[in-house]
């Protein structure tokens, strides 16, 4: 009997988290995720970043505090709301992120080696559609 698709996707999720965790060290996967999102969406608040990273606001506070201690992000009061701190990636953070992105891209290329560009696009669309059908949606770029 073939395994359930949801089981295989769950195994893939765990394998990806383990592999990405190794590749982006000394960052954690949540730190890498936060940096990736902030690169494309500078100025997000902690709550917005937590939603896009699928973690609690409390966990995101810890992630951002660690990134700030390492000089990878900077926080400043929002222009339109002084109590909200907007977070941006520093130049040092962009350098670290570029290294991590290269490593993750190489891992994805190994994982998808048997798929051509059309098959990769089809797989991405199918997975994205599954996420949307379950109501999770993917954050805007």
Does the residue 140 lie in any domain? no
Give Cβ neighbours of residue 137 (< 8 Å, ≥ 6 apart).
131
Residue 122 in domain: no
**How far, in Å, CA of 55 to CA of 30, rounded?**
8
| Residue 26's CATH number | 1.10.10.10
Backbone torsions φ then ψ of 115, nearest 5 degrees? -110, 130
**Position 68 in a domain:** yes
Quick count: other Cβ atoms within 10 Å of Cβ 11? Answer: 11
| Domain ranges, residue 75 | 5-104
Alpha helices in 25-78 (DSSP H): 29-40, 46-53, 57-69
Give the global pTM: 0.85
pLDDT in tens, the chain (141 residues): 999 999 999 999 999 999 999 999 999 999 999 999 999 988 787 888 898 888 999 999 999 999 999 999 998 887 776 677 788 899 999 999 999 999 999 999 999 999 999 999 999 999 999 988 988 766 554
């Amino acid at each position: 009997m073939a395994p359930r698709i949801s089981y295989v996707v769950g195994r893939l999720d765990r394998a990806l988290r383990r592999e990405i965790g190794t590749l982006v060290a000394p960052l954690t996967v949540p730190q890498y995720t936060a940096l990736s999102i902030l690169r494309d969406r500078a100025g997000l608040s902690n709550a917005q970043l937590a939603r896009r990273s699928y973690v609690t606001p409390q966990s995101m506070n810890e992630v951002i505090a660690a990134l700030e201690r390492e000089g990878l992000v900077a926080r400043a009061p929002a222009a339109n709301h002084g109590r909200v701190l907007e977070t941006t990636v520093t130049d040092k953070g962009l350098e670290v992120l570029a290294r991590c992105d290269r490593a993750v891209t190489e891992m994805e290329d190994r994982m998808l080696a048997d798929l051509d560009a059309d098959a990769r696009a089809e797989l991405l669309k199918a997975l994205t559609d599954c996420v949307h059908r379950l109501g999770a949606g993917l954050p805007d770029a």
